[in-house]
Structure 1
Amino acid sequence: MDPRALPPRLVIDPSLPPEISVELRSSPHILRMARSGTRLDTTNNPVVLFVLPCFLLLVFMLIGWPGLLVAGMGVSLIVLIRWMALDSSYRTTRRRLRLAQAHADRYLLPEDLDYPCQMLLRRAQNAVEAILNSKVHKAGLIDTIDNQVTLPEEIWQIGQRLRKLSSMHAEHGKLVPRELPPGMEDAFKPYTSALDAAWTSLSQRVRHLEGYAKQVLKADKVYHAHRRLEALATRTPDYQQLIAETVRDELAHERIRELADQAAHVRKLFEESIFQARQAAGELIRTPLT
């Protein structure tokens, strides 16, 4: 499946303390419970209250009091261990559910968005992932902005606006009649135009991110070639000596110059690609969503 067609990943406000962010990210199903208003079921299973006495009565009828005592102790131990495990799991779930409810406005689930907004957010996430996983980023070569801080904030801001746009899309669809009476079209048009303008602006923002990612990936390819060339550059004297020893003098000088020119050319391409990536990042700085 095309990664661009997948739903967006969970988005959490990057300004949250790391320990809270880790807790929220670890249990997406609990975030959905919190979003839907689901409450934990605290009732006991009545089947246990019926089955346990029947089991002990059967043991008593078969082997008498000694067997009943041993069976009772064994069953009690099993029930106690089971209860402790379930109670611990329940308390963990309850704590995480309370945390999710307390920070309900600090995370974004795919179902918070309509389909077009989901696809736009996924495109933005894919672009950011490509940038952060690039070799030139990891090598610290595109340091115009602090990508580790700025890009997650960018995704959060885009997601917040897409959530609001999705909500207003839904409201607009309910309020605006499918068939407008003659002469009423112009009365509704400004509201439709406002939604379209917001969508266009966010789409342009995502295209800026994708443009940045494209330049970073281009720089990555040149960086790879540049690293290989650097390795070869250490052997340049050996290549020059080989040419000088085996090629006629008039050709030797030309081949030696080609070696030096090629190294300079690749370095220039590398520097240009890094410069273009930084320029693309500058577009995000000049028009911050925040």
Structure 2
Amino acid sequence: MDPRRRPPHLLIDPALPAPISSVLRASPQALRAARLGQVPHRRGPDPVKLVAITGLLLLMAGLSATGGFIAALVLISFSVLRGLSDDPEGRRERRRVRLAMEHRDRFILPEDLDRDCGDLLRRTQDATETVLDSEINRARLLDTIDNAVTLPDQTWQIARKLVRLSDMKAEHHRLVPGAPPPEVAEAFTPYVKALETAEISLAGRVRALEEYARQVRRADGVYRAYRQLQVLAERTPRYEALVAETAEDALTLPGLEHLTEQARQVRKLFHESIGEARDAARHLLTATDS
């Protein structure tokens, strides 16, 4: 399957408080129920158990002549019936659905987007994850922007616009399900162009984010090589000793004498790749502001 055809995953507004966000993230079924306005009904007591316990209590009441005992049986009956109707998981599910309904504009489900907009969101999420999971980001070498804050916010803003675009495209197709007559087709063109322009603009923002991720991925590879070379540089005497002990005096291992220059070149390439990643980040911010 084309990786760009993978559906996006659940997205929650990064500005939402962590306790609420964690509950919503752990309850995708509650989010779908909230989107449909379906709050689970309170489940009543099991009728079989209810009949059995009621019969037992009536039998006990019939065998007793004391009013105090009968009163106690009434209290016991109330507690038992309440216990029969108690449904802890049901109560938790209803709370989760109500919480999701209170924050219905703070999460986005895969089904909230059409196929093309879903593709764009998935690409956005992939690019964001690439940057956030990179070694150079974890090492705080990308100081142009605060990726941990800026990129989730960028993803959320793009996603909200994609949902709006999906809704408007669906509405447009409902209003204009087929091609209009040729003599009036031109009157519909501005509306179609508006939708196309919005999608092209959002696709451009996604490509800018993907370019940033591509530069970060490249810089990550150079960074790993740079760190490996630093470790090897510390072991240079061992390599030189190995050559001296195992090779004839006339033989030398090509490249060892140039190690310092090679390390300098790799270091230069690393700094260049970091600079290119930062430039891509600045371009991403410029594209977002426009």
After TM superposition, the score normalised by the length of structure 1 is: 0.83
1:149 corresponds to: 149
Q: Is the 8 A contact 1:125 1:155 kept in 2?
A: yes
> In the alignment, residue 152 of structure 1 is paired with which amino acid?
P
Tell me whether 1:119 sits opposite 2:119 in the alignment. yes
Partner deviation per Cα, 1:14-55 (whole Å, 9 max, x = no partner): 111111111211111111111101022124156335663599
CA drift at 1:95: 2.0
2:201 corresponds to: 201
2:132 corresponds to: 132
Q: Is the 8 A contact 1:243 1:255 kept in 2?
A: no
> In the alignment, residue 147 of structure 1 is paired with which amino acid?
N
Q: Is the 8 A contact 1:23 1:96 kept in 2?
A: yes
Indicate how the Cα distance of structure 1 residues 26 and 255 shifts in structure 2: closer, same or farther if over 3 A, else same.
Answer: closer
2:109 corresponds to: 109
1:19 corresponds to: 19
1:229 corresponds to: 229
Q: Is the 8 A contact 2:39 2:94 kept in 1?
A: no
In the TM superposition, 1:251-262 aligns within 5 A as 255=255, 257-262=257-262
CA drift at 1:78: 9.8
1:172 corresponds to: 172
CA drift at 1:145: 0.6
Tell me whether 1:191 sits opposite 2:188 in the alignment. no
> In the alignment, residue 166 of structure 1 is paired with which amino acid?
S
1:279 corresponds to: 279
CA drift at 1:179: 3.3
> In the alignment, residue 264 of structure 1 is paired with which amino acid?
R
In the TM superposition, 1:77-96 aligns within 5 A as 84=86, 86=87, 88-96=88-96
**How large is the Cα RMSD of the aligned pairs?**
3.3
Unpaired runs of at least 5, structure 2: 64-77
Q: Is the 8 A contact 1:157 1:289 kept in 2?
A: no
SS of match in other structure, 2:196:
helix
> In the alignment, residue 171 of structure 2 is paired with which amino acid?
E
Q: Is the 8 A contact 1:130 1:213 kept in 2?
A: yes
More helix by share: 1
Q: Is the 8 A contact 1:243 1:256 kept in 2?
A: no
Q: Is the 8 A contact 2:45 2:81 kept in 1?
A: no
Tell me the distance in 2 between the aligned counterparts of 1:3 and 1:47.
51
1:69 corresponds to: none
In the TM superposition, 1:25-44 aligns within 5 A as 25-44=25-44
1:9 corresponds to: 9
Q: Is the 8 A contact 2:132 2:147 kept in 1?
A: yes
After TM superposition, the score normalised by the length of structure 2 is: 0.83
CA drift at 1:181: 1.9
CA drift at 1:243: 6.2
Tell me the distance in 2 between the aligned counterparts of 1:55 and 1:3.
63
Indicate how the Cα distance of structure 1 residues 270 and 81 shifts in structure 2: closer, same or farther if over 3 A, else same.
Answer: farther
Tell me the distance in 2 between the aligned counterparts of 1:232 and 1:43.
68
Q: Percent identity?
A: 48
Tell me the distance in 2 between the aligned counterparts of 1:142 and 1:218.
13
CA drift at 1:82: 6.7
1:97 corresponds to: 97
Partner deviation per Cα, 1:157-180 (whole Å, 9 max, x = no partner): 011000100010011111125132
Aligned pair count reads: 279
